[in-house]
Structure 1
């Protein structure tokens, strides 16, 4: 079944795979602690059926206090996760505050992992503030707006990024806000790449 867009929500009746279940389980922890988040980057296209591998899933979270991070850290450890690039809670929090990311995986595993970082700039703030809701059966995930996802992938302009952008545009082209998409592409100075690969968007 193809994803169905209803307003600003997407309903997707898919059979979740191992990667989806890993993501959902992690996000349920964020939800339980009321931590505001948005999933960005390659997993967005993969969730909707793009066939490619990924080692990490990027998730942006609202900056939180040391006390709230301590609660998150304890909950992750209790639920069988570890932080790959940190040995202590203090170090992990410092990494986030240094505008970098921590990588969270299930115990005794490295891949897949959640690459978690605090929102730090206007682009990331846009993604968090305008995130879209995706319902997968009785589970819910919040993703970056599709227009920003596509525009940012053209900004990155790697081969897999362009393929991700084209996949999402083709899948949701009848539901996208094309003017917003073009505006974001322009603001990211990615028009040259986008025009080369999305002729339909610039046909008029």
Structure 2
């Protein structure tokens, strides 16, 4: 976790220096909310109109990436992989905000602490809904752990309805003994 912590610190510094609106999402946040698992990456959603400043800030913090691929991802509102120096397995998946879910997550972000680093993280409601939408077996396991640790709120139910995953949420909740 030491390498992840160092990479997260550098990533947050680069994003904040570049004045990006960002939110850390995915596996690292699932761990934060009580899921016992490992991850080999940091997932982040970014919204910015200052891509040149972002490129410069990421380079200043030592991230390795294809500038051409990052600029293309910015233009197409896609994703790009950033590598941490001298580690071929660990990486950052940087996604430029594109759809309603991305903007929902950015607007619902909360200031939290991951691995001792203060940063913007995905809310419990947003991570559960996103994981239900993506729907891999690991995503489902993340949802189960988060629900077991934090329960089922009315806000989560409403957000699940909004994004069309309410039945899926209730099915998982009931499977682990929570009334929906």
Alignment equivalent of 1:198, drawn from 156, 173, 180: 173
| SS of 1:81 mapped into structure 2 | coil
Q: Is the 8 A contact 1:152 1:185 kept in 2?
A: no
For structure 1, which runs of at least 5 residues remain unmatched after alignment? 1-15
Alignment equivalent of 1:70, drawn from 47, 52, 58: 52
Residues 113 and 188 of structure 1, relative CA distance in 2, 3 Å threshold: same
Residues 90 and 18 of structure 1, relative CA distance in 2, 3 Å threshold: closer
The aligned counterpart of 2:62 is 80
Q: Distance in 2 between the 1:45 and 1:23 partners?
A: 15
User: Number of residue pairs matched?
Assistant: 177
* CA displacement at 1:73 relative to structure 2: 1.7
Structure 1, 26-35 or 104-113: larger mean CA deviation: 104-113
Residues 95 and 47 of structure 1, relative CA distance in 2, 3 Å threshold: same
Q: Is the 8 A contact 1:155 1:185 kept in 2?
A: no
Residues 111 and 159 of structure 1, relative CA distance in 2, 3 Å threshold: same
Q: Return the structure number with greater helix share.
A: 2
* CA displacement at 1:115 relative to structure 2: 0.9
In the TM superposition, 1:150-169 aligns within 5 A as: 150-169=128-147
In the TM superposition, 1:10-29 aligns within 5 A as: 17-29=2-14
Alignment equivalent of 1:182, drawn from 157, 160, 167: 157
The aligned counterpart of 2:113 is 135
1:100 to 2:78 alignment: yes
Q: Distance in 2 between the 1:108 and 1:179 partners?
A: 45
Q: When the two structures are superposed, what TM-score results if normalisation uses the length of structure 2?
A: 0.85
Residues 127 and 73 of structure 1, relative CA distance in 2, 3 Å threshold: same
Structure 1, 55-64 or 131-140: larger mean CA deviation: 131-140
Q: Distance in 2 between the 1:168 and 1:49 partners?
A: 6
Greater C-alpha radius of gyration = 1
Alignment equivalent of 1:54, drawn from 30, 39, 42: 39
| SS of 1:82 mapped into structure 2 | coil
| SS of 1:110 mapped into structure 2 | coil
Residues 53 and 121 of structure 1, relative CA distance in 2, 3 Å threshold: same
For structure 2, which runs of at least 5 residues remain unmatched after alignment? none
**RMSD, aligned α-carbons:** 2.2
Residues 195 and 56 of structure 1, relative CA distance in 2, 3 Å threshold: same
Q: When the two structures are superposed, what TM-score results if normalisation uses the length of structure 1?
A: 0.76
The aligned counterpart of 1:10 is none
* CA displacement at 1:55 relative to structure 2: 2.8
